[in-house]
Structure 1
Amino acid sequence: MPAQDKPYRLYRGGRVKGRVPLARSSSSGSKNRPPGSPITAEPSTPKRRRIGRWVVLGLVLLLVLIVAWGVGSYLSVSGGVSEANDRVPAGVDRLLKKRDGLLVSTPTTILVLGTDGGDRAGRQGANRSDSIMLLRTDPGKRRLAYLSIPRDLQVEIPEVGVAKINSANQIGGPALALRTVKDLTGLDVNHVVFVDFDRFEELIDAVGGIDVDVPRRIQSNRFDCPYKTAAQCSAWKGWRFARGKQHMDGRRALVYSRIRHNLLHPSETDFDRARRQQQVVAATLDKVTSFGASLKLPFVGGDLVKPLATDLSAWELMQLGWVYFRADTGKALHCRLGGDPATVGGESVILGTEDNVSTIAMFTGRSAPLPPPRGVPYAPGCVIGDRRL
């Protein structure tokens, strides 16, 4: 082999034959290396160990923060829930049918009863049920079903007689209202949530307000004037809401849910008002179960249950929140009872029909949902998703 073709090893002192590859060394290590020694790479193990320690430390810190957040959230919510449990009137618990199993896996029926102005002395109709709704969860199908019961529906109130269903709460409190709903629908109720709408705005403000999609423009009659002087209220023409999605604080959301007369659409019925209340409740649930609100739970958890009286424990409320979070709201079932409008004893009432029985079967999933017939404003029925009911 010619001399110029032979491989060489490179030393600091010169060239030597052999097949040893060239290696590099750091400039810091070359200062103390004796002449003639080969150039070799320094090990990177210490650097890798330092990076590994920082990764482990970061994961431990993240775990500690998650545990602290979870404990803080639970303690904050449980303190408020304990007070909410104490607000449930006597006699309600024995009317509930408790179920075995977790709420995250077991279908559950919950009565949501809203009262308007229960703590305002002298208000006519105070403590009457302003919103009556059954919520049914089906975690296996990731589906929620809502059944609205119009407050003017004429029913048989146990031990009282025939009257509007919203008067049951005023006559005998939540226990009688619960008995009336059970007798009307023939359904077992597993849990109850009583909502004080006078304090509902506190909950909405605690989560930073809600987003509501207003289906059409609204101008209300004059109630709950936002001004302080009589002259300003006299010149005021009522609350106004534009069409479309908009952000509302607690006060404005509460007003939206209470509007009885839309001067721009006089044909609206009490069903439209009930739908607005459902929108506010659903938007609030969306906000409460959002990621942003979850981060605030250690600080606002107690405020979220101030407007409520419920038999649900803190653990059950958290399960219910998870069921709502996982549910496909686009496939939610919205049902309502109804009937024929009439005037009885000088009062406007709704006389129930046999179609209410079919609607209850739709609500429980025993039959396919059918919408109310067009042109019959008080007819019962069910729709899927966000379509107008």
Structure 2
Amino acid sequence: MNSRMEFKKKKKRRGLKLVLFLLFMIAALVGYAGIQFYQGTQMASGEGNTPKEEDYTFNGVKDKNGRINVLLLGVDSRGEEQSRTDTMMIAQIDPETNETKLVSFMRDMYVEIPGYQNYKLNTAFFLGGPDLLRQTLKQNFDIDVQYYMIVDFKGFEQSIDILAPEGIEMNVEKAMSENIGVSLQPGLQNLNGKELLGYARFRADAEGDHGRVKRQQEVITAVKDEALSIGSVTRLPKMIGAAQPYIETNMSKLDQVGIVKDILLGNSSDINKLTIPVADSYTDGYYQQAGAVLEVDFETNKAELQEFLNQ
């Protein structure tokens, strides 16, 4: 009887030691993450060229089904008084399933901009910031969002270099150099932050904005895969810390962490993607005040968008 009790006590002590060890490891990892995050923020602030923050008003609306919709915008510099956005996407995260969906909007679509004459979609941001762009998407495509996140491209470059010091592997399908700040040659290769950004922004070919949107989606998937790799996970806090000064958003820090968790720990490594306008739903047009544009069948695209986000 005594031996059995002694065995139970020893087993209980071993169990307690295991719990304490796990708690110690978690604390150590959290401490390491904090140090890495601090180093990242110091790295960014030391550059002396981080963009100034803007005081945007954003009247976002919660999704009635409990999903999280974020308007993602990429800009050259938030320090400018006015700028057009080069990248316009809506990311939808379902907290119940951790499923992530990504909708890319081509910037040359000819749309109604509330309070202004019709123009290209990206002009809405130039005229009234993220909330006017939100209103424009609502009016033309019947989709609303709760949050916005503006990412300065300089922060993207630096974040990639921290996450993947050896670069991220991409298959460059053609020579690219015009208006992207780098010169890329065809072939499978590792791209650093500046090169990866140039790859995503290239549009000086027959595909134009169609090809660029496709590459932007490819880059997002590749970055997610890299972030999930064993060698890169420990670099995530430093990457996030370095990116913070280059991000403007109405999301709280807790919301940002939760969304990053949902995306990275999603049920699938794949991100479901849609490009608006969808195939065979637009024609090329031209207006004197706007130049070359895409004339869109809005009813078709509304239906495709609703089916994609609500299926």
TM-score normalised by the chain length of structure 1: 0.64
- Determine which of 237, 249, 252 is the counterpart of 2:192: 249
1:309 corresponds to which residue? 248
Q: Which of the numbers 147, 157, 163 marks the counterpart of 2:113?
A: 157
Paired residues of 1:335 and 1:359 also in contact (CA < 8 A): no
Alignment CA distance shift 1:289-1:178 (3 Å): farther
- CA gap of 1:193–1:329, structure 2 versus 1, over 3 A, is same
User: 1 CA distance for matches of 2:252 and 2:92?
Assistant: 18
Q: CA deviation at 1:147?
A: 1.4
SS at structure 1 position matched to 2:245:
coil
1:241 CA drift (Å):
3.1
Gap change, CA 1:117 and 1:317, over 3 Å in 2: closer
The alignment partner of 2:118 has SS state of strand
Higher helix share: 2
Q: Counterparts of 1:130 and 1:300 in 2: how far apart (Å)?
A: 22
Shift of 1:288: 3.5
Match of 2:56 among 60, 77, 90: 90
Give 2:68's aligned residue. Answer: 108
The corresponding residue for 1:295 is 234
Letter in 2 for 1:311: N
Post-superposition shift, 1:300? 4.2
Instruction: Give the CA deviation at 1:113.
Output: 1.0
Q: Confirm or deny: 8 A CA contact 1:89 1:174 kept in the other structure.
A: no
> 1:361 maps to which residue?
306
Equivalences for 1:253-332 in 2 at 5 Å? 253-261=196-204, 266-324=205-263, 325-330=265-270, 332=272
Counterpart amino acid of residue 319 in structure 1? G
Q: Aligned runs of 1:1-389 on 2, under 5 Å?
A: 60-70=20-30, 73=33, 87=53, 89-92=55-58, 95-98=59-62, 106-116=66-76, 127-209=83-165, 211-214=168-171, 217-223=173-179, 238-242=183-187, 244=188, 246-261=189-204, 266-324=205-263, 325-330=265-270, 332-337=272-277, 339-345=282-288, 347-353=291-297, 354-365=299-310
Q: How many residues align?
A: 292
Contact 1:219 1:239 in 2 (8 A): yes
Aligned partners of 1:155 and 1:184 also within 8 Å: yes
Alpha carbons of 1:131 and 1:198: their partners in 2 closer, same or farther (altered >3 Å)? same
2:72 partner SS: strand
Q: Decide whether aligned partners of structure 1 residues 107 and 290 sit closer, same or farther in structure 2, where only a CA change above 3 A counts.
A: farther
> If you compute each CA radius of gyration, which structure gives the higher value, 1 or 2?
1
Deviation for aligned residue 1:212: 4.5
CA 1:112–1:299 in 2, change beyond 3 Å: closer, same or farther? closer
Which residue identity does 2:71 align to in structure 1? L
Listed one character per residue, the Cα deviations across residues 50-81 of structure 1 (whole Å, up to 9, x for unaligned) are 9997886565344223124235536865996x
The TM-score, its normalising length taken from structure 2, stands at 0.78
CA drift of 1:273 comes to: 0.6
Distance 2:25 2:155 in 1: 32
2:272 partner amino acid: A
Q: Could you say which structure has the greater relative contact order, defined with CA pairs below 8 angstroms and 6 or more residues apart?
A: 2
Displacement after TM superposition at 1:109 (Å): 1.1
* Offset, 1:294: 3.3
Structure 1 spans left out of the alignment, 5+ residues: 1-42, 227-237, 367-389
- Sort the Cα spacing of 1:298 and 1:341 in 2 relative to 1 into closer, same or farther, 3 A: closer
